[in-house]
Amino acid sequence: MRRPRIVIAGASSGAGKTTVTLGIMAALKQRQLQVQGFKVGPDYIDPSYHTALTGRPSRNLDTWMMAKEIVREVFDRGSRDADISVIEGVMGLYDGKDPLSNGGSTAEVSSLLDASVILVVNVASMARSAAAVVLGFQQLDPQVKLAGIIVNRVGSKGHYELVKAAIEQVCNVPVVGYLLWQDEIDIPSRHLGLVPAIERGEMAPLFEVLGKTAEGSIDIDRILELAQFDAQWHAPRPSLFAEPRRAPFVRLAVARDSAFNFYYPENLELIEWYGAEIEYFRPLDGEPVPLTADGLYLGGGFPEEFAAQLSARDQVLASALQVVSCGMPVFAECGGWMFLTSSLADRAGTQHRMVGAIPAAVQMQNKRVALGYREVTAVADNLLLCKGETARGHEFHYSTASFEPQNWPFAYVSEGRRGVNQEGYAKGNVLAGYTHLHFASNPKMVKRLLRACQVYRESRLGLGRATAVRGEIS
């Protein structure tokens, strides 16, 4: 089979790869092609852009959070029926988990998928020196297929021609286009209200400009040729979705709106694969936890941007507190964890009441508090993990939580680049914390969650064990 694919990597963070990626995606969409987006690394914002632009769920490819064969499986599942897959890198091409190897980097993913790489280089205030930059990327790992260069933030067409001549002479790699430094095609700062803006459709005019600009200054035909050059693809044997799909036997409520929208597609798909029907609801619109639910999943997002609105949703808050009190299994990540606490104070210091299911208070900070990979080990048996069992994910938040540390029921021992800490909250039917877990790192988590939902369902409906045993997950 053939799966045309191309990687858009950056020489560094801030080189402009997101702008270039979206411009290329938009130009391809304007040609009526089915475009599938992917993002290297544990990011939610860029995939949200991809999804809004392409109309297809963008997926993360991360060789640290999931095994390499699962990365290939995620790509295989996501790229089906697409005319081309565009894979946006993370940080610089060779930046990843380990500064001494390609582990966790865009380079590793490109090699794993046997995909050609377009390198985006910021050449502001640069001419022949751009050739030295590209040469270094070529020589660091010759196994990486560096197939083309796009130069960003050029001052003029003449500046582009100088840089292009220098790079092609020294590096013998084609420069396939450029973007001028102009405000109208700059992606807005990743402020916390971006995803809601995407949901409201406010990014459509920017996407249109990006597509037209890319079509005018980037050789889209050449990019299509490069994507087709190594398009041969051997589908991997499924490992993440290897078991037969189960018929639904429980119903899981999932909050999904402008405040709660950070979910890995594979997390939701695994939940359905193992036997849950997902029932989405919108807390911001005043929709309470569905009465028919057997469990609740509160993902991350931007509750702080809508704290006053959420605080005024009496029925929503009461419903969430009620299901916790009734013993419903509840899993909450980052924004969902913040929502379950007693209060959330915004950056101005104004406190807003939240659900009150967890005795903690959240305070927004002016600077980022945490960013990076996390491997968590369960302190005791909880909703997803047995004591001592591990899973992988990441943290990214601007808030802190205050609580009485004495006898606090920490969920995990969390290990990251900055050391080891205790994190989260695990008590009875509730598991919550700042860590976004990727279920692909330990699929048993999904089975345990649905088993807990089944037990709750039997109790809620007054069913005997025999009536539901056919659907039970072993």
Helices (H), 260-388: 265-273, 307-311, 314-325, 335-340
Task: Supply the CATH number for residue 196's domain.
Answer: 3.40.50.300
Residue 295 has pLDDT above 70, yes or no: yes
Same domain, 178 and 306: no
Residue 256 has what pLDDT? 95
Does residue 322 fall inside a structural domain?
yes
pLDDT at 472 over 50: no
Who contacts 358 (Cβ-Cβ below 8 Å, separation ≥6)?
Answer: 337, 340, 341, 342, 403, 425, 430, 432
Domain boundary among 229, 261, 289: 229
Of the given ranges (15-24, 50-59, 94-103, 463-472), which has the lowest mean pLDDT? 463-472
The pTM score is: 0.93
pLDDT band at 371 (very low <50, low <70, confident <90, very high): confident
Whether 435 has a pLDDT exceeding 50, the answer reads yes
Mean pLDDT of the chain: 92
pLDDT for the residue numbered 302: 87
Q: Are residues 263 and 214 in the same domain?
A: no
- 394 and 322 in a single domain? The answer is yes
Same domain, 440 and 306: yes
| DSSP annotation string for 160-203 | HHHHHHHHHHHH---EEEEEE--GGGSPPP--TTHHHHHHTTTT
Query: Which of 229, 260, 289 is where one domain is finished?
Result: 229
SS3 state at 473: coil
Instruction: Please give the tally of structural domains in the chain.
Output: 2
Distance CA 337, CA 303 (A): 10
Question: Average of pLDDT values for 216-228?
Answer: 96
Helix axes 17-30, 204-217, angle to 10 degrees: 90
* 294 and 439 part of one domain: yes
CA-closest candidate to residue 390, choices 427, 441, 320, 434: 441
CATH, residue 355 = 3.40.50.880
Say if residue 356 is in the same domain as residue 455.
yes
Domain, as residue range, for 182 = 5-229
Residue 73, both tokens: 């499986």
Residues 173-179 have a mean pLDDT of 97
Active site residue 334: yes
- Per residue in 195-214, pLDDT (tens digit) is 667 767 778 888 999 999 99
pLDDT at position 201, please? Answer: 73
pLDDT at 263 over 60: yes
Domain presence at residue 243:
no
Q: Which of 171, 326, 334, 453 is catalytic?
A: 334
Q: Do both 275 and 345 map to the same domain?
A: yes
Task: Summarize pLDDT for 319-357 with one digit per residue, the tens.
Answer: 999 999 999 999 999 999 999 999 999 999 999 999 999
Here the tokens at position 361 are 């208070």
Residues 333, 214 within the same domain:
no
Which positions ≥6 away from 278 have C-beta within 8 Å? 251, 252, 253, 254, 268, 271, 272
Residue type, 102: N
Number of H helices, E strands in the chain: 15, 24
Return the closest-CA partner of residue 210 out of 188, 241, 242. 188
Mapped onto helix, strand or coil, the DSSP state of residue 109 is helix
Residue 358 has pLDDT above 60, yes or no: yes
- Same domain? 287 vs 168: no
User: How confident is the model at residue 448, as a pLDDT?
Assistant: 97
pLDDT digit string (tens) for 106-150? 999 999 999 999 999 999 999 999 999 999 999 999 999 999 999
Question: Do 160 and 272 reside in the same domain of the chain?
Answer: no
